[in-house]
Every structure is written in C-alpha cells, then in structure tokens.
Amino acid sequence: LKMNVNGRAQRTIWLKKKNPQTVQIIDQRYLPHKFVVEALKTLNDCCCAIKDMHLRGAPLIGVAAAYGMYLAALGSPKGFSHSKWSQWMQKAAKTLISTRPTAINLFIGVERGLAAVQKASSRTEGISMLREAADGLAEEEVENCRRIGEHGVAIIEKIYRKKRQTVNILTHCNAGWLACVDWGTATAPIYAAFNKKIPVHVWVDETRPRNQGASLTAWELGQHKVPHTLVVDNAGGHLMQHGLVDCVIVGSDRTTRAGDVANKIGTYLKALAAWDNGIPFYAALPSTTIDWQIEDGVNEIPIEEREGEEVTHIQGLSGRKIQKVLLAPKGTKASNYGFDVTPHKYVTGIITERGIASATKEGLLKLFPEKKILR
C-alpha cells in the first residue's frame, strides 16, 4: 500500500519517467488548494526548493539533497578532469548544506552523495552512482517509514485494547508522507492503525507559521479518509486537560543521541502539556534524523530563523485565487524561529525503524549499537 492522492499512488519526489535527468516534486506551497508538480533540473532549482520550502520535512529534505547532488553532477562541464569534478561536487555539497540549518537529514543526503563522488572513478560513473545513491536513500526512507508504522502501531493498538473506543492522537506540523517520500513518520503508525481498522481520530494542530498542519496534514489525512479535526496550536493543552487526547505523536528535524527532539516550533509546548496530564508523547523518526554527535539539544541544535513575513502575512484561498493577506499592523516587527527542542525527559519514547527506544542515550544505543564507535 502507498499513500494516495485522489486514489492514485503518489510520492513526494521521483525521477521523471521519460527523462530521468529531471527530478520531480510536489510543490507543497500550493497545497491544499492546488496540486502542483515542479520539475527540478539544476542544483539551483533544488536549493531553491529546499530553502523556499517547496518541499520540507526532514526525511524529504535529505532525499532532495541527495538528488541535488545528482543534479549538480549532471550540470558539471563534461570536459572536467576527475579532480576538477570532485571540487565541483564539494562546492555543490556546501551550497546544499547552506540551505537550511536544522534538519540533520540534509547533511546525510549530501554525505551519501559525497561518498558516491569519492568512489567514482569518472564523472560519468559518478553521475550514475549519485543517481543510485539518491534512489537508494529514497527507498531506504520509504522502508524506514513503513517500519516506523509497523512498530508505532503497537502503541495505538495497546491504547485501543484498553479503551475500546476511538483513539485520539494529537500531532503537530506535518510529519506525514509529504514530509518524507511515502508513509510519513508520525503519521505512519496512524495510517497503519487506520488500515488495520483500529478507530483513530487525529487532532491536527494548524501549526503556525506556514500552517503545515492545516494545509498538509489535514489534506493528507483527508485524502486517506482518516478522521481528523483541525485545531489551533493553542488548543492542545485544553484538549489534554479534558481527556480528549490519548497520545501525542510528532516527527523530528533532528534528535540528539540523548533523545532531545528538535521539531517544528511549538512541539515543546505540547510535550509539556502531555507531561502535565500524564499523556504519552512520542517522536517518530528514521535513524537518519538522529545526530549522534550531540547530546544537549537546546544548546547544540542550530535553530533556523526565517523571515518575519511568514508571521505577519498568511496565504489562503479567496474564491479560486491563492492570496496573501497581512495580519498585523503595517511594519510590525516579527520574529520567526522555525523549531524548538523538547528535552528528552518529556519524551515517552522514540519510534524508529528498528523499534521504540526510550529517549535516552542508552535506549537509542540499544537499538543502534553500531553508533557506539562515534562517541
């Protein structure tokens, strides 16, 4: 089973069938109002798509970066010597890395590309290896998400067996298939439960600014017919105080080896409310999102600051036209941090492709013992 749009299987990123030198993506800026496919033909196209958030979500950013390396190789002058080509690719890597600071997957995607560059003996071989590397990472992330669903569904099943009524799950931002290649991270257990006919209902935080909850998660769940209700980001605490949330599942843009979870701004506030009301709070993420180099998320994860205009203005549909409107007094200064960090003490568990880990160094290393050498 794959995620669907209007009943047809759909991924977020793929090579154009008739021309595999073009990468195609869903341009998510127009959702839920318009379904737009964008063709990325150059490294620059790819960097713009990442930076200006035509696509977003940690796993997808990683895969897009790997395809960005492939596009950079395609764009390299044919006559280049191997060492010149290698330099070209190093520069491309730096350009890609500078697009967004928080998601660690960006680095993973670029590193996969650089590893291919190192192994290749020529530009031509390099291009084909870079394509394989990107395709490989995409497939790996699809499989990671599928397994996150398999492991995570156990949490929902357990609640259902006890409650015998609809399981209410709150999620923040979009950690759905639109944030990945297929399936999603936070949504994978939800889709898995839904497919198993466990009654689920999702509280969708609208997720200001950029409203990825209202525009992407609500759309995804709607396409798949999963019952859901949209709420403002302010509502979660009240819902939890009144027993209307059984479980919180979110994604992550970077998670430290100690289990501190960086995710879309506002996640930390939901974690606190879950903690205060004794509600389990899970982060679902592929291991490509774990930064094994760092421990203290609040102090070590760089938090992206974006344009204040994303706060003072908002985009929506007026009639048939997508329109931007001003929300604040003209000239109001706004500050726009993209992410926050939830300290691991507020995280009940981390759902990965290998199972559910406690949000501790020990818990994560138990599932990923090969990472011990990194420390």
Question: According to the binding rule CB under 8 A, does residue 368 interact with a second copy?
Answer: no
Handedness of CA 57, 135, 222, 189 (dihedral sign): negative
Shortest Å distance, C-beta 331 to a second copy: 8
Q: How many CB atoms lie within 10 A of CB 146?
A: 17
Question: Could you give the dihedral angle defined by the CA atoms of residues 275, 278, 280 and 283, in that order, rounded to the nearest 10 degrees?
Answer: 0
Using CB under 8 A as the binding criterion, the count of chain residues that bind a second copy stands at: 63
CA angle in degrees (0–180, nearest 5) for 100-232-352: 50
* Contact assessment for residue 240 and residue 246, using Cβ atoms and an 8 Å cutoff: no
Q: Out of 182, 205, 253, 260, which one is annotated catalytic?
A: 253
269 binds a second copy, rule: CB under 8 A: yes
180-209 residues in contact with a second copy (CB under 8 A) are 203, 206-209
- Minimum distance, C-beta of residue 279 to a second copy, in the bound complex (Å): 13
State the Cα–Cα distance between residues 257 and 371, nearest whole angstrom: 9
CB closer to a second copy, 303 vs 365? 303
Beta strands at 313-318 and 321-326: parallel, antiparallel or unpaired: antiparallel
Letters for 144-173 (x = contact with a second copy by CB under 8 A, - = none) are ------------------------------
DSSP string, 259-309: --EEEETTHHHHHHHHHHTT--EEEE--GGGEETT---HHHHS---B--TH
Rounded CA separation 68/306 (Å): 22
253 is catalytic: yes
Sole binder of a second copy in the list 15, 48, 154, 334 (CB under 8 A): 334
Which of 268, 282, 292, 368 lies at the binding interface for a second copy (CB under 8 A)?
268
What are the structure tokens assigned to 43, written together?
């490294």
Count Cα neighbours of 12 within 13 Å in the Cβ-side half-sphere: 35
Q: Any contact of residue 273 with a second copy (CB under 8 A)?
A: yes
* Positions 74 through 133 that interact with a second copy (CB under 8 A): none
Q: Closest by alpha carbon to 251, among 169, 161, 350?
A: 350
Task: Kindly tell me which residue out of 28, 171, 215, 348 binds a second copy, with binding defined by CB under 8 A.
Answer: 215
Of 115 and 317, nearer to a second copy (C-beta) is 317
Spatial CA neighbour of 177 closest among 51, 30, 27, 4: 4
The residue from 52, 139, 276, 307 that contacts a second copy (CB under 8 A) is 276
Residues numbered 280-319 forming contacts with a second copy, rule: CB under 8 A: 298, 303, 308, 311-318
Q: In this chain, which of 163, 337, 362, 366 binds a second copy, going by CB under 8 A? A: 337
Q: Which stretch binds a second copy (CB under 8 A): 49-57, 71-79, 216-224, 246-254?
A: 216-224
Residue length, the chain? 375
Binding flags for a second copy, 224-263, as an x/- string (CB under 8 A): ----xxxxxxxxxxxx-xx---------------------
- Least distance to a second copy from the beta carbon of 8, Å? 17
Query: For residues 183 and 59, what is the distance between their CA atoms, to the nearest angstrom?
Result: 11
Q: Which of 136, 139, 141, 144 is nearest to 70 (CA)?
A: 136
Query: What is the Cα–Cα distance from 321 to 350, expressed in whole angstroms?
Result: 41
42-61 footprint of a second copy as x/- string (CB under 8 A)? --------------------
- Positions marked catalytic: 253
Question: Which residues contribute to the site for a second copy (CB under 8 A)?
Answer: 32-33, 203, 206-209, 211, 214-215, 218-219, 222, 228-239, 241-242, 264-266, 268-270, 272-273, 276, 298, 303, 308, 311-318, 323-329, 332-337, 339-341
